[in-house]
Structure 1
Amino acid sequence: MTVWIEVTLQSHRPDGESLGPLADEVQRIAAFADVAPVRTRFSTREIQTETPGWRLSVETLEGARTLCAVQNRSAPMPGFTRYRTFARPAGADLSASVIEFAQADDALAEPLAKAHRHVGPESAMTLESGGEAADVPAPEREVERIEWRVAADGADILASLEISEGQLPMLRLAAPAVNGALDAVFRLAGEVIDAAPFFIAPDDEHESQAEPVHAAKLDLPRTATRREAFVAIAASVAGQWFGNAVASRAGLGDEHVHQLRVAQRRLKTLLKLFRDDVDDAWNTRIAPDLKWFGDLLADARDWDVFTDKTLPVYAESDAAAARWQPVIAAANVKRRVARDKVRDALTSKRHARLTLAFVEWLARFASQEDASPMRFVSFAEKRIRRDYQRIARVPDLVSLAAHERHRVRIHAKRLRYALEFFRSVTSRRTRKDTAKLLGELQTALGEANDAAVAADRLAALPEASDYQRGFARAWGAASARKDAQEGERLLRSMHRPRVKASI
């Protein structure tokens, strides 16, 4: 059975638009120029399988129905998958056809064993003979598809451009997983991104979401290797990053900026934890553009906090609050400029190439095999112990200089993210109490940092008076001591994080 690899791209074009103009742009790419496209329209409906890593659907083309099963053979990650497919004609009795499909191949027997229960009638839920309720089937989707068979760098690539109601157009680049195919598919994806309005697709859960995407909870199996843990965490970061990039297209809000910034910080923590896995390819192809994007996010987030939180607090604490309104208005202008830069970056070719390079690097890393695999539980225990000692051994926070307390805050934040990554193997008290205290410590020390940033920003605003600049400096000095005292209390009341004993 052939194993395929696939890169999935999404278009900027809104849903409901014909594929014609987009297909014309694809056709003008050199690899597609001499290839005749094949156009089809069909309907498809998903059927629940109850088996992770498997998808089952029924497709109807010109009255003929086909059952299609797909087994994901790689760790889930946005924009890339390694899979194998199974197909069989379906008869009038779809439930019976699913049963026959499951019996036709040993590989399908277990994954599709209960899938016939979820076929159901077209209209409503019914009771099966055993008294169990059969689910209402998923609705059918009408799909328009244009396909090209592209020969690129020795690989036979099937390019499928699809659109259905309520979804953005998708371009899937798939090839049999033979030597050189990974290079060819990602190279062609890069050519498409450079020439047409495409970007790496987010995961299915976030492909049409407009709300800000928060970090998903990870539940790594204890049997996972260190490499498998890295891939799963990186894919989770990508889900938050790419999901917010797509969600913000309907309007980039402050929470989108915040969650994009959180995703970048989680990624930075991951790279610190697994520093031995950062290679030359990462440092040359990804790190420079990641810094460019991260700097834009940091500036935009700082202006959001300064404008929406810090300055209103200053105004409320001043007897003459009205004098702060011109400063808040000026800061808001700066905030909009910074946010526009993030918005422009998210729709730029540079960001599209960055996300593609990230997925390509991760796909290559995931495909490599370890000569001597290491259980991630042992790795997690060592890293958590080391990062905890970094903050537990510091002197009294009140006695430290501001930049030294800032370093403690950074280490506390990294430890909190590490506990989130490795939550499945930590004790309940660690997941609840220690993680909560780390968040409070980060917040306490962060308020002092926000005050220091605010003083710098006020100093650079022509609209700010000497009085207001002095006010901010005095506030920052008072805040630094108060927050250091609170941080010290939180730090010393914290229990050492514990990893549950290996099984």
Structure 2
Amino acid sequence: MTVWIEVALESYRTHEAHRTDRSDDATPAALAGALEQIPAFAGVAPVRSRLATRDIPLKAAGWRLSVDTLDGARTLCATHEDGPPIPGFTRYRTFARPAGEDLAASLREFAEADDASRAPLAKAHRVAAPESDDGAPSSTPDSDSGDEVERIEWRIDAGGADILATLETDAQGRAALRLAAPAADGALDAVFRLAGEIIDAAPFFIAPDEAHELANDAANGAANDAANEPVFAAKLALPRTATRREAFIAIAASVAQQWFGNEFAARAGLSDEHVHQLRVAQRRLKTLLKLFRDDVDETWTTRIAPDLKWFGDLLADARDWDVFTDKTLPSYAASDDNAARWQTLIDAADLRRRVARDRVRDALASKRYVRLTLAFVERLARFASQEDETPVRLVSYAKKRIRKDYRRIARVADLASLEPHERHRVRIHAKRLRYALEFFRSVTTQRTRKQTAKMLGALQTVLGEANDAAVAADRLASMPEATDYQRGFARAWGAASARKDAQEGERLLRAMHRPRVRASL
């Protein structure tokens, strides 16, 4: 059976137009017109159709099932992901079969038609047509024919690779573009090359993780607010039998889910929590690349790393201004006998915070950023497609990395005796170890997951507060709106915070149990 590879893109114009009613350039015709200006689409006759599609829920991981209705004819379509899930990229197999009037019967026949689909589709008929009290199938819910979709397809010969480009626009105006090709030599190159040409010429970006879309995307009304919710890091459950390479791909995909999910949500309005979670995703990615140094090649270094730094620096500046404006300055004011004297400074900081956030917003809308996300997904897809010639067990690798990173913090001198920049380095190492434990949680002991990780978080927090105070003092000193009194207040606050937090950090560090990988694995 043919294995397909696919890159999924989404139109940011339709996403924004859905919320601002500016849809002149976001119609299917307008998007198709933009695509047809790309040389690869020139002379290719599009095929247009309008159909209804209804998803049938499945509990089998990696499987999707739908009923598509076109010109009165129904088709059952199932897809199975063939490889690790990577946001924006899928490797899959397809199963399709015409459906008769008795949908439940058609689904039972569909499940039995192939050994691979028998188990995952075995109970699908119960969801599509629930049984009545007497055990017979109830009337199929055909009145709920599904969501209407407008589809435009182009078959493109891209240097020997036969690419099917499918633009689908749903009733709410969301437009998705899928570039699919049979997995063969050269197909990966061709699909990503075409994706690059598209994002350079048309308003498309890498689609977020589909699970996030299904959970958070809203058709209308109050549910729209859900699509703007920030996305937090998901708990990883790496298989105990996983190799180092498999772990790298799974962790990178998890980082991308948080990264792209918050980018998607932020397109409806960038909040301070979106900025925070985007920065967390970038920090997790940075930790991943340090944990797996041997898997960072020239492509990462030359093509991805510079733009990751560019984007990360913008996020760091915006996040620092958020903390300074919303937390640090109000704390100063609350501790002063004249809180009102701080309001002018708070207003000035808030203005700078808005400017920093606008820079992040502009970056998210830039071609440079979209190219970065595409390059990231492409490198991950290529890495996943390569054969692991020297597989290393995750358990062995995790034990080695955790032990090494723990020693970095356990062997430092008394935190209270260190210089501020040295304590800051301890904080960075504690943060990296905490992320590493999150990545490898499925192979660590229960005490490591619950107690050690918790204390690492507390250590990171207290040392972070001291660092925030030091950064705040420097930031305040550079603001012309600040008075000499306020500059002195911030320096004194920072010094007191450094002493207090160093003492608390030292207590936490020495009380921490050494993290362990489970010996029974």
Pairwise same-fold verdict (TM > 0.5) = yes
User: Offset at 1:128?
Assistant: 6.9
User: How far apart are the structure 2 equivalents of 1:189 and 1:23?
Assistant: 15
CA 317–44 in structure 1, closer or farther in 2 if over 3 Å, else same:
same
Q: 2:175 matched to which residue of 1? A: 169
Q: 1:206 matched to which residue of 2? A: 212
Is 1:144 the counterpart of 2:150? The answer is: yes
Kept in 2: contact 1:117–1:135 (CA 8 A):
no
**Aligned match for 2:479, one of 446, 451, 461:** 461
CA 251–283 in structure 1, closer or farther in 2 if over 3 Å, else same:
same
Deviations 1:440-491 (Å, cap 9, x if unpaired)? 1001000110011111111110000111111111111111010000000111
User: How far apart are the structure 1 equivalents of 2:388 and 2:49?
Assistant: 43
User: Offset at 1:117?
Assistant: 1.6
Q: 1:61 matched to which residue of 2? A: 70
**Aligned match for 1:194, one of 179, 184, 200:** 200
Q: 1:6 matched to which residue of 2? A: 6
Q: 1:178 matched to which residue of 2? A: 184
One-letter amino acid of the counterpart of residue 83, structure 1: Y
User: How far apart are the structure 1 equivalents of 2:278 and 2:107?
Assistant: 42
**Alignment map for 1:143-292 (pairs within 5 Å):** 143-166=149-172, 168-207=174-213, 208=217, 209-292=227-310
Kept in 2: contact 1:45–1:140 (CA 8 A):
yes
Kept in 2: contact 1:120–1:137 (CA 8 A):
no
One-letter amino acid of the counterpart of residue 3, structure 2: V
Kept in 1: contact 2:14–2:27 (CA 8 A):
no
Kept in 2: contact 1:118–1:135 (CA 8 A):
no
Is 1:494 the counterpart of 2:483? The answer is: no
Q: 2:21 matched to which residue of 1? A: none
Q: 1:437 matched to which residue of 2? A: 455
Q: 2:317 matched to which residue of 1? A: 299
User: How far apart are the structure 2 equivalents of 1:4 and 1:137?
Assistant: 33
One-letter amino acid of the counterpart of residue 176, structure 1: P
Deviations 1:310-360 (Å, cap 9, x if unpaired)? 000011111111111111111111100000000000111111000000000
User: Offset at 1:49?
Assistant: 3.0
One-letter amino acid of the counterpart of residue 174, structure 1: A
Kept in 1: contact 2:82–2:91 (CA 8 A):
yes
Structure 1 stretch 5-14 or stretch 368-377: which is displaced more?
Answer: 368-377
Q: 2:123 matched to which residue of 1? A: 114
Deviations 1:257-285 (Å, cap 9, x if unpaired)? 00000000000000010011000011111
User: How far apart are the structure 1 equivalents of 2:38 and 2:370?
Assistant: 17
Q: 1:18 matched to which residue of 2? A: 27
User: How far apart are the structure 2 equivalents of 1:276 and 1:373?
Assistant: 13
Is 1:317 the counterpart of 2:335? The answer is: yes
Q: Secondary structure at the match of 1:463?
A: coil
Q: Secondary structure at the match of 1:250?
A: coil
Q: 1:129 matched to which residue of 2? A: 135
**Alignment map for 1:331-342 (pairs within 5 Å):** 331-342=349-360
Structure 1 stretch 427-436 or stretch 284-293: which is displaced more?
Answer: 427-436
User: Offset at 1:430?
Assistant: 1.0
**Aligned match for 1:404, one of 422, 435, 443:** 422
User: Offset at 1:429?
Assistant: 1.2
Deviations 1:183-234 (Å, cap 9, x if unpaired)? 0000000000000000000011333321111101111110111111111100
Kept in 1: contact 2:46–2:153 (CA 8 A):
yes
One-letter amino acid of the counterpart of residue 218, structure 1: L
User: Offset at 1:502?
Assistant: 4.4
Structure 1 stretch 403-412 or stretch 149-158: which is displaced more?
Answer: 149-158
Deviations 1:2-47 (Å, cap 9, x if unpaired)? 1110000000123665311111101111110211111001111112
User: How far apart are the structure 1 equivalents of 2:98 and 2:2?
Assistant: 19
Q: Secondary structure at the match of 2:14?
A: coil
User: How far apart are the structure 1 equivalents of 2:418 and 2:58?
Assistant: 57
One-letter amino acid of the counterpart of residue 11, structure 1: S
User: How far apart are the structure 1 equivalents of 2:289 and 2:230?
Assistant: 24
User: How far apart are the structure 2 equivalents of 1:308 and 1:502?
Assistant: 47
User: How far apart are the structure 2 equivalents of 1:262 and 1:139?
Assistant: 41
User: Offset at 1:107?
Assistant: 2.2
User: Offset at 1:137?
Assistant: 11
How many residues matched? Answer: 499
User: How far apart are the structure 2 equivalents of 1:138 and 1:78?
Assistant: 30
One-letter amino acid of the counterpart of residue 446, structure 2: R
User: Offset at 1:363?
Assistant: 0.2
User: Offset at 1:103?
Assistant: 1.7
User: Offset at 1:139?
Assistant: 6.8
**Aligned match for 2:60, one of 51, 58, 67:** 51
**Structure 2 length normalisation: TM-score?**
0.93
Is 1:32 the counterpart of 2:41? The answer is: yes
CA 103–137 in structure 1, closer or farther in 2 if over 3 Å, else same:
farther
Give 5+ residue unaligned stretches, structure 2: 19-25, 218-226
Deviations 1:369-426 (Å, cap 9, x if unpaired)? 1112111111111111111111111111001111110000000000110111111111
One-letter amino acid of the counterpart of residue 469, structure 2: A
Give 5+ residue unaligned stretches, structure 1: none
User: How far apart are the structure 2 equivalents of 1:159 and 1:199?
Assistant: 15
Kept in 2: contact 1:156–1:176 (CA 8 A):
yes
Q: Secondary structure at the match of 1:66?
A: strand
User: How far apart are the structure 2 equivalents of 1:490 and 1:230?
Assistant: 30
**Structure 1 length normalisation: TM-score?**
0.96
Is 1:76 the counterpart of 2:68? The answer is: no
Task: Quote the sequence identity (%).
Answer: 73
One-letter amino acid of the counterpart of residue 240, structure 2: R
RMSD: 1.8
User: How far apart are the structure 2 equivalents of 1:236 and 1:415?
Assistant: 17
Q: 2:391 matched to which residue of 1? A: 373
Kept in 1: contact 2:463–2:505 (CA 8 A):
yes
User: How far apart are the structure 1 equivalents of 2:411 and 2:369?
Assistant: 40
Kept in 2: contact 1:120–1:126 (CA 8 A):
no
User: How far apart are the structure 1 equivalents of 2:136 and 2:102?
Assistant: 19
Structure 1 stretch 9-18 or stretch 225-234: which is displaced more?
Answer: 9-18
One-letter amino acid of the counterpart of residue 110, structure 1: A
CA 135–290 in structure 1, closer or farther in 2 if over 3 Å, else same:
farther
Question: After TM superposition, what 4+ stretches of structure 1 lie above 6 angstroms from structure 2?
Answer: 134-139
CA 300–501 in structure 1, closer or farther in 2 if over 3 Å, else same:
same
